[in-house]
Amino acid sequence: MTTAVVDLDAVRHNIRLLRRAAAGARVMAVVKANGFGHGSVEVAGAALAAGASWLGVTSLAEAIELRTAGIRAPILAWLHTPDDVLETALVSDLDLSVSAVRTLESLARAAGRLGRPAAVHLKADTGLSRGGATAGDWPHLLTVAAKLRAAGLITVRGVWSHLANAEDPDDPGLPRQLIAFGHARAEAAAAGLAGHLVHLANSAAVLQLPQARFDLVRPGIAVYGVEPVPGRSFGLRPAMTLESTVILTKRVGPGTGVSYGPDHVVARETTLALVPAGYADGVPRRVAGRAEVAVHGRRVPVVGRIAMDQIVLDVGDLPVRAGDRVVLFGPGDRGEPTVAEWAGWAETNPHEILTGIGPRVRRSYRGRCAGNAISTRSPSRPDECAAMTPS
Ligand SMILES: *Cc1c(COP(=O)(O)O)cnc(C)c1O
């Protein structure tokens, strides 16, 4: 059936490449949304083995899944409500992003109840207008943070922000964000909040904006081997191959309608091949009439409407039979489409294709870290596969 084969050696290669690009800054592997669809625990294990020292996720639930798997590396979670069960974060030794005084106060109460300080990363909004405190709200957030730190209720582990368009180094919004971030850092220092990690860079910024690297970088899509800057290649290796199996073939004549509608009518005698992957598995309906897959090392078109559970290929006169392997996308080095091509056909980004791969698709792991990812042993060699921070 349909399987996402994840090459954990590719993840390790990408992390090593990102570490070199980070030039001394630490690497936080962003494994939100189930590791961009690849499996967060497995990717985290491989990333830590290759020298990443932090993990980044959105929700507390995602962070706790990593802890439950035995991962002890520092984890930052950045989306939670002020009323989330913040005790859980403290007990699980999670770092939380804080953009508002209300969250700080709620964390301080949790810290008081538990008798241990909450580790926070104060987030400045430098122009993205999502998370983070605006320049107007930042001084008050710092004042309250300094007070709670003095009371032993929080530790300020980081000061951070996020870029709106690091993919385009000529975007005039970029220098504006860098200047705003400079002000936010200076104000944090003036408030007496020194000694924390400063972080700003996502994948594109790690690879092409040295001025955005600071102490820690937060690559996401590049960890999975997708090139983040349009038109540039940094040597990343795609980690996922999405493959399936032909379950039925049939010879049909001209005029035969294919799939619902039918939106597609066969022009000449041909072989149709049925593949059990549909939009519930992450094949977007929008790719109808555009998408191709590889079978027998050749590209063939997906024809007709994409159904919930299946697609139909027009394989012409290729001797395709039930049981044959079909590659929807992969690294691209055997002629198969890449996830970037699928993103083009679906008029979206590769992130949406990868995170849209459904729960019915089995994840299978290859490479030296496969099967080891949830080990809690301390690695005895720096590159040993274990979900621990390398010493
Ligand atoms: C998703 C995310 C990242 C990773 O971004 P990429 O562009 O995939 O590298 C980094 N930081 C934050 C805050 C994010 O939400």
> What is the pLDDT at residue 373?
46
pLDDT tens-digit series, residues 285-302: 999 999 999 999 999 999
Of 32, 123, 224, 279, catalytic = 32
Asked whether 123 lines ligand 1 (CB < 6 A), one says: no
Q: Is the model more confident about 262 or about 387?
A: 262
Asked whether 166 lines ligand 1 (CB < 6 A), one says: no
φ, ψ (nearest 5 deg) of residue 109: -65, -45
Q: What whole-number distance in Å separates Cα of residue 158 and Cα of residue 155?
A: 9
CA-closest candidate to residue 12, choices 27, 33, 23, 34: 27
State in Å, rounded, how far the first CA of the chain is from the last one: 41
| DSSP annotation of 133 | B
What's the fold here for domain 240-366? Lyase, Ornithine Decarboxylase; Chain A, domain 1 (2.40.37)
In terms of Cβ atoms closer than 10 Å to its own Cβ (0-12, 13-18, 19+), residue 356 is middle
pLDDT tops 70 at residue 381:
no
Atom of ligand 1 at shortest range from CA of 218 = 10
pLDDT tens-digit series, residues 346-356: 999 999 999 99
Nearest CA to ligand 1 atom 12: 162
Nearest CA to ligand 1 atom 4: 220
Nearest CA to ligand 1 atom 15: 58
Question: CA of 91: how far to CAs of 81, 209, 257, in Å?
Answer: 17, 36, 59
Task: Tell me whether residue 28 is annotated as binding.
Answer: no
15 Cβ neighbours under 8 A, 6+ residues apart: 27, 29, 46, 47, 50, 51, 52, 223
pLDDT tens-digit series, residues 188-242: 999 999 889 999 999 999 999 999 999 999 999 999 999 999 999 999 999 999 9
Asked whether 350 lines ligand 1 (CB < 6 A), one says: no
CA-closest candidate to residue 107, choices 245, 97, 206: 97
Q: Which residues make up the CATH 3.20.20.10 domain(s) of the chain? A: 8-224
pLDDT tens-digit series, residues 96-132: 999 999 999 999 999 999 999 999 999 999 999 999 9
Cα–chain-centroid distance for residue 57? 9
Asked whether 270 lines ligand 1 (CB < 6 A), one says: no
Tokens of 281: 């598995």
Task: Tell me whether residue 1 is annotated as binding.
Answer: no
Q: Which residues make up the CATH 2.40.37.10 domain(s) of the chain? A: 240-366
What's the fold here for domain 8-224? TIM Barrel (3.20.20)
| DSSP annotation of 338 | P
pTM tops 0.85, yes or no: yes
Best mutation site among 28, 30, 234 for ligand 1 pocket (most ligand atoms within 8 Å of CB): 30
325: number of Cβ within 10 Å: 12
Q: Is 260 a catalytic residue?
A: yes
pLDDT tens-digit series, residues 84-103: 878 999 999 999 999 999 99
Question: CA of 88: how far to CAs of 55, 145, 322, in Å?
Answer: 17, 20, 50
C-alpha of residue 220 to centroid of ligand 1, in Å: 5
8 A C-beta contact, residue 314 and residue 268: no
> What is the pLDDT at residue 82?
82
pLDDT tops 70 at residue 270:
yes
Q: Give the β-pairing of 75-77 and 54-57.
A: parallel
Asked whether 219 lines ligand 1 (CB < 6 A), one says: yes
Band of the pLDDT at 83, cuts 50, 70, 90?
confident
